[in-house]
Chain A
C-alpha cells in the first residue's frame, strides 16, 4: 500500500517519461494494426491505400516519442510541479465523471443532473450553501429549458420510471 501511495504521489513527475512512453506503445500498436486494413493492398496498385496515412502518422509519433524519451533521459531528473490546493479533486472529478457517464442513460439527464451537480460540488469541498443550492436549481433548469425545450435536442431520458419522469418535462 505504501509503495502504491508513493508511486501515485510521484505519478505527476514520472509523466515526463510516462507520457511519451504511452504514445510510443500506443502508436506502435496502431502502426501494426494499419497493416490489416481491408483493401489496403488492392488500393496500393491504383493509388494510395487507406493504410498509408495512418502509418505515416503513427511512424512520426513513434519517432518523436523516442526522441522525447531520449531527451528526457539525457537531461535527467524529473521536473517539479506546482502542487494545487486540492489535488484530491482530480480523482474525485474523474470518479464523478465516470459515474455520470454510466448513469446518464439509465437515470436520464433531468433526474441525474441536479443530484450530480449538488453531490459533486459537496465532494469537491463547496460549502457555500447559497451557491450550492442556487447553482443546482438554476443551472439544471437552464439546461432543460435551452437544450430539450428551445433547441429540441433530445437529452437522455433514462429508462423505466426515470423515463416517465423525463416525459413529464420534455
Chain B
C-alpha cells in the first residue's frame, strides 16, 4: 500500500495533473448540479477529449468528475426537488423537506459532509484493500442481490407515518413500470404498443424529473407566484459537532454498506443510496420521522452513494469489471489508453493505480473545501419568486429529460409523470417507492428470474442461501411486526377498555 501511495503521489503531483484534477472537481460540481447532465454523461462526453492526454491525466480528470458529481447531484435535489443525478434521488426525500422548512443551508451542509465522509472512506478502503474487497463482492450472487432489493422496496414503502398500503401499491407500480420495454432475457416486447421508444423501457430520468420536480413546480405556481421562499440564515454550512456525533452511527453504517453495494458489479450508487436510506430508517429510533426533513435521511443516502461511487472503482481496476455506468466508461478509457485493468494492473502500473486512488481521496476532500461557495451561491436562488422558479424548473426538466436519449417521447413522459406525481401526492400516495421500483425494477426482475433459472424453478433458493435468507427474514419481519402490533392493540385488555 505504501508503495502505491509513494508512486501515486510522484505521478499525481505535477502541475498539469493537479490542474486537471481541479478542473475535474469544478466540472463535476457543475455537471452534477444540472439536471439531465449526470457524471456518467460528462465522463462520456470528455472521453474523446482525453485522447490527447496521457493515461494518468485522463483518468485523474475522470475520477475527479465522478467523485464530485455524485455529491453535487444533491444540490438541486435538496433545493428544487430535482435530483441533478440519479444517485441523489433518495436525498430528495428528506433534503427537500428540510428546504421547505426554510433550512436549505443545513440540508446541503449535511449532504456535503456526509458525501465527504462516505467518499473519503470509500477512497481510503479502495486504496487499502481493493483486490480483497473485489473478491468479497463477487460472492454476492443473484439471490443475495434480489433479497437486498426486496428489503429496500419493502422498507421504503413502509417507513414514515403514511399509509403503508399506499406505499406498497406504489412500490409495485414502480416495479411494473420497470417491466415496460424489451425483456432483456427473452427479447419479448412488453407493453410497448408498437411505440419504438418504449422498447427501451420507461427511462427513470424523465420519471424522476416528472414525479419529483414538475409536480413540485405545479404546486409552486398554485401558490402565490410573486412570493419568495423564507430561508433561515446560518453562520456555517458544515454540521455542528453535536449533530455529527448524533449522526455517527448513520455514517458508520452507511459508509461500509455503500462501499459493498458499489463494489457489486452492475448495482451502483443509486441502489446503494436507497438501501442505505431504508436501513437507516429501520435502525432509527424514530422511523416515522423519515421523509419529514431529518438529517439522518440526508446523511444515510449521501454517505452511501459517495462510498458506492468509490466502491464501483474497486472491481473496475482490480478485476476489469465495472461496478457502475460511469466506471464502465472509465474502463473503456483505460483500455483505449493501452492499459489492461485487472490484478496485473497493480503490479505493472502501480504509479497509475496509486495516482487514481489518491485523486479519489483528494477530490472527496475538495468537496468540503469548495462546496460551501457553491452552496451559498445556489441558495441565493430562493430570492427568485415562486412563479419564476416553477417555470425554470419545468424548462430545466424538459431539457434534462430530452438530453438523456434525445427523444421527444421523454419530454411527454416528464410532463405525464409530473401530473401523475401531483395527483398522487395530493392524495397522499408516496412517490419515493415508485421511483425506487422503477430504478431497481429491472435488476430486481433479472436477479429474481436468474435465481429461479439456476434453481430450476425452485423458489427455496432464496431461503437456502444464508445471506439472502437473513435479508428476506428481516424483510418479512418488517411486514409482519405491524400486523402483530395491531393484533396486540385489539387484544390487549387495557386498550380494549
> Interface of A with B (CB < 8 Å)?
12, 15-16, 19-20, 23, 27, 30, 33-34, 37-40, 43, 46-50, 52-54, 57-58, 60-61, 64-65, 67-68, 71, 81, 84-87, 89-90, 93-94, 97-98, 100-101, 104-105, 109, 113, 116-117, 120-121, 124-128, 131-132, 135, 139, 143, 146-147, 151-156
Minimum CB–CB distance for A38 against chain B, Å: 5
Note all chain A residues with C-beta closer than 8 A to B188.
Answer: 37-40, 50
Given contacts A84-B219, A97-B214, 6 further A-B contacts (CB under 8 A): A20-B169, A54-B176, A89-B218, A109-B399, A126-B388, A151-B41
Looking at chain B's contact residues, the main secondary structure is: helix
CB-contact partner of A104 in B165, B168, B225, B411, under 8 A: B411
Instruction: Please give me the residue from chain A that is nearest to B223 by CB atom.
Output: A85
**In the complex, are the beta carbons of A48 and B221 less than 8 A apart?**
no
Q: Which residues of A lie under 8 Å from residue B187 when comparing CB positions? A: 39
Known: A37-B188, A81-B426, A97-B415. A131 touches B176 (CB 8 A): no
Contact between B179 and A53, CB atoms less than 8 A apart:
yes
The answer on a CB contact under 8 Å between B169 and A84 is no
Residues on the A chain within 8 Å of B213, using CB: none
A102 CA to B424 CA, complexed, in Å: 25
Residues in B with CB closer than 8 Å to A27 are 176
- By a CB distance below 8 angstroms, the chain B residues around A154 are 406
B189, B224, B395, B452: the one within 8 Å of A117 (CB): B395
Give chain B interface residues in 153-174, CB to chain A under 8 Å.
163, 165-166, 168-169, 172-173
Give A12's nearest chain B residue, CB to CB: B426
**CB neighbors of A among B204-226 (8 A):** 214, 217-219, 221-226
Given the interface pairs A87-B222, A97-B418, the reply to whether A43 lies near B186 with Cβ below 8 Å is yes
Return chain A residues, CB-CB under 8 Å to B385.
126, 128, 131
8 closest A-B pairs by beta carbon, nearest first, are A47-B453, A84-B222, A64-B169, A57-B176, A50-B183, A50-B188, A126-B387, A48-B449
* Chain B hits for A156, CB < 8 A: 402, 408
Q: Residues of B contacting A135 with CB < 8 Å?
A: 384, 388, 391-392
Which residues 372-405 of B have a CB within 8 angstroms of A? 384-385, 387-388, 390-392, 394-396, 398-399, 402-403
With a cutoff of 8 Å between Cβ atoms, the chain A residues found around residue B429 in the complex are 19
Residues of B within 8 A of A98 (CB): 415
Residues of chain A within 8 A of B45, CB atoms compared: 151-152
Contacts of A120 in B (CB 8 A): 391, 394
Nearest CB of A to B415, in Å: 4
Chain A interface, >50% SS class: helix
A89 contact from B222, B392, B395, B449, Cβ within 8 A: B222
Docked-complex contact A60 and B172, CB < 8 angstroms = yes
CB contacts under 8 Å to A, within B31-70, are: 34, 36-37, 41, 45
The residue from B214, B388, B411, B448 contacting A131, defined by CB atoms under 8 A apart: B388
B interface residues, Cβ below 8 angstroms from A: 34, 36-37, 41, 45, 163, 165-166, 168-169, 172-173, 175-176, 179, 183, 185-191, 214, 217-219, 221-226, 384-385, 387-388, 390-392, 394-396, 398-399, 402-403, 406, 408, 411-412, 415, 418-419, 422-424, 426-427, 429, 445, 448-449, 452-453, 456-457
Do the beta carbons of A19 and B427 come within 8 Å of each other?
A: yes
Report chain A residues within 8 Å CB of B391.
Answer: 117, 120-121, 124, 135, 139
B189 touches A30 (CB 8 A): no
Residue in chain B with minimal CB distance to A147: B399
Q: A39 — which chain B residues lie within 8 A by C-beta? A: 186-188
Output the nearest chain B residue to A57 by Cβ-Cβ distance: B176
CA distance A16 to B390 in the complex (A): 27
A67 and B222 contact, Cβ closer than 8 Å, known pairs A101-B411, A104-B411, A126-B388: no
Distance to closest chain A CB from B101 (angstroms): 17
The reply to whether B225 and A125 contact each other, CB–CB distance below 8 Å, is yes
A94 to B416: give the CA distance in the assembly, Å: 9
Determine the distance from Cα of A62 to Cα of B225 in the docked complex, in whole angstroms: 39
With A19-B429, A117-B391 as contacts: A68 and B221 at CB distance below 8 Å: no
**9 A-B contacts (beta carbon < 8 Å):** A12-B426, A16-B427, A50-B190, A68-B165, A93-B218, A104-B411, A126-B385, A131-B384, A135-B384
A27 to chain B, nearest CB (A): 7
A61→B165 contact, CB < 8 A: no
Q: Take A100-B398, A101-B415, A143-B399 as given contacts and tell me if A54 and B426 are in contact as well, using a CB distance cutoff of 8 Å.
A: no
Contacts of A84 in B (CB 8 A): 219, 222-223
Contact among B36, B172, B399 for A64, CB-based, below 8 A: B172
Shortest CB distance B435–A (Å): 15
In the bound assembly, the distance between CA atoms of A132 and B331 in angstroms comes to 46
Please measure, in the bound complex, the distance between the C-alpha atom of A153 and the C-alpha atom of B396, giving whole angstroms: 13
Q: Closest Cβ of chain A: how far from B188's Cβ, in Å?
A: 4
Given the complex of chains A and B, what is the CA–CA distance between A101 and B183 in angstroms?
29
| Residue in A closest to B182 when the chains form the complex, CB atoms | A50
Set of chain A residues within 8 Å of B424, measured between Cβ atoms: 19
Q: Which residues of A lie under 8 Å from residue B422 when comparing CB positions? A: 90
Residues of A near B214 (CB, < 8 A) are 97
B-chain residues with CB within 8 Å of residue A146 when the two chains form the complex: 34, 37
Residue of B nearest to A67 (CB): B165
Cα distance, A39 to B165, chains bound together (Å): 33
